[in-house]
A = this chain, B = another copy of it.
Amino acid sequence: MSNQLEGKKIKVGVLGATGTVGQRFITLLSEHPFFVLHAFGASARSAGKTYAKAVNWKQTTPIPAGAREMLVYECTPDKFADCAIVFSGLDADAAGDIEAAFRDAELVVFSNAKNYRRDPLVPLIVPLVNASHLSIVHKQRLQHNLKKGYIVTNANCSTTAFVVPLSALEKAFGPIETCMVTTMQAISGAGYPGVASLDIMDNIVPYISGEEEKIEWETLKILGGITEEDDGSQSFEMHSKTPLRVSASCNRVPVIDGHTECVSIRFHKRPPPSPQQVREAMVAYTPDVQTIGCPSAPRQTIFVHEEPDRPQPRLDRYFQNGAGVSVGRVRQCPVLDIKFVVLANNVSIGAATSSIINAEAAVLKGFVDI
């Protein structure tokens, strides 16, 4: 990789820089081996201030020294013209127009927002699963008459946790037919201020608006494939080797970081793999972002716990600096085939870390002009 990039530093911008996801982008990018923070965008209220003045910093590490005195701009493409890549931590109500404007200005946008996830020209990428979907950006550029600009999205945090082991299992054993998942999601998934303390202390909220629909739909796109059409162009196809039915039940729980999910699946393959075969397939799973050397990708993608009471969010959310996924309790399901518990850090691989690995993959695969 250092060979490929020959020590180049790639200038990047952050949109929504003062928000929760923006703070994570800045924390992670401040120590990145080849990205270098160059421009920050936020709302008009913050524009013109230094970052240290504009932000209500909520991370457990201090504001990176290099970021403190950087000026915050409004989110207009001209201020980001020198950036090879722009990361977006914008809220959904602002992301739609701004990200489109940035793309139209020939900027490359890696977005954590939900707005373009369902766009058939925009890849929806969980880097530990389907970085191969990056290739669709050619068609996106074509349709928008662009030479360089495009948008890539990453998935919802609760979807991310869950598709990584599914991908490992489909790779090893072929299509999954049925999946039931019950999530127990951390409060940080709702942003800041997000969940009121009076709503969640000593409590469970068995509902997160739109979340179940996101899981049930995004999973099909992420685990879907890419079809070469007759004219040489590419399209997505939703998961369709066999129809995959997903049923999700989403809950907010009093946990700060880390989404825990109870999953039960049925394979198309009969007889289905044993729990031990499932464990082995998960341990062996090596997505291509790991193979091509994305520096923020985990060294081990899925850790499989043997202890009966793991994974636990407080103990396991820091695995691989939050970029890996932890699985435990792989066992037979009396109704479907296999049950297990999966945990992923929603503020790392479930958000900013995904965007960053996606961007790393885009650079290493040649989808970014640098």
- Verify if A309 is at the interface (C-beta below 8 Å from B): yes
Give the contacts of A182-211 with B (CB-CB under 8 A). 182, 184, 187-188, 192-207, 209
Residue ID in chain B nearest A206 by CB atoms: B341
Q: State the Cβ distance, A88 to closest chain B Cβ, in Å.
A: 21
Q: Which residues of B contact A216 (CB under 8 A)?
A: 334
By CB atoms of chain B within 10 A, which of A60, A192, A262 has the most? A262
In contact, B198 and A196 (Cβ under 8 angstroms): no
Known: A61-B318, A315-B58. A192 touches B198 (CB 8 A): yes
Please give the number of chain A residues whose Cβ is less than 8 angstroms from any Cβ of chain B in the complex.
Answer: 59
In contact, B202 and A202 (Cβ under 8 angstroms): yes
Docked CA distance A193–B194 (Å): 10
Give the contacts of A224-252 with B (CB-CB under 8 A). 245-247, 249, 251
Docked CA distance A251–B341 (Å): 10
- Verify if A308 is at the interface (C-beta below 8 Å from B): yes
Q: Which residues of B contact A334 (CB under 8 A)?
A: 216, 245-247
In contact, A249 and B314 (Cβ under 8 angstroms): no
Q: Which residues of B contact A198 (CB under 8 A)?
A: 58, 187-188, 192-195, 256
Choose from B197, B207, B246 the contact partner of A309 (Cβ within 8 Å): B207
Known: A60-B318, A196-B196. A254 touches B207 (CB 8 A): no
In contact, A262 and B193 (Cβ under 8 angstroms): no
In contact, B207 and A308 (Cβ under 8 angstroms): yes
Residue ID in chain B nearest A342 by CB atoms: B206
Encode contact with B along A310-336: 1 for CB under 8 Å, 0 otherwise: 111111011000000000110001111
Q: State the Cβ distance, A369 to closest chain B Cβ, in Å.
A: 38
Choose from B60, B245, B317, B333 the contact partner of A314 (Cβ within 8 Å): B60
Known: A198-B187, A254-B197. A335 touches B204 (CB 8 A): no
In contact, A253 and B196 (Cβ under 8 angstroms): no
Q: Which residues of B contact A180 (CB under 8 A)?
A: 180, 264, 335-336
- Verify if A255 is at the interface (C-beta below 8 Å from B): yes
Q: Which residues of B contact A30 (CB under 8 A)?
A: none
Docked CA distance A199–B264 (Å): 25
- Verify if A158 is at the interface (C-beta below 8 Å from B): no
Docked CA distance A48–B324 (Å): 34
Q: State the Cβ distance, A99 to closest chain B Cβ, in Å.
A: 26
In contact, A245 and B335 (Cβ under 8 angstroms): yes
Q: Beyond A206-B312, A207-B329, A254-B255: 6 further Cβ-contacts under 8 Å?
A: A200-B201, A202-B254, A202-B255, A204-B253, A206-B310, A206-B341
**8 tightest A-B contacts by CB?**
A193-B196, A182-B182, A203-B314, A249-B262, A207-B309, A247-B335, A197-B197, A206-B341
14 A-B pairs whose Cβ atoms sit less than 8 Å apart in the complex: A59-B315, A60-B315, A60-B318, A179-B335, A193-B193, A200-B201, A201-B202, A201-B256, A202-B202, A205-B309, A206-B328, A245-B334, A246-B335, A247-B333
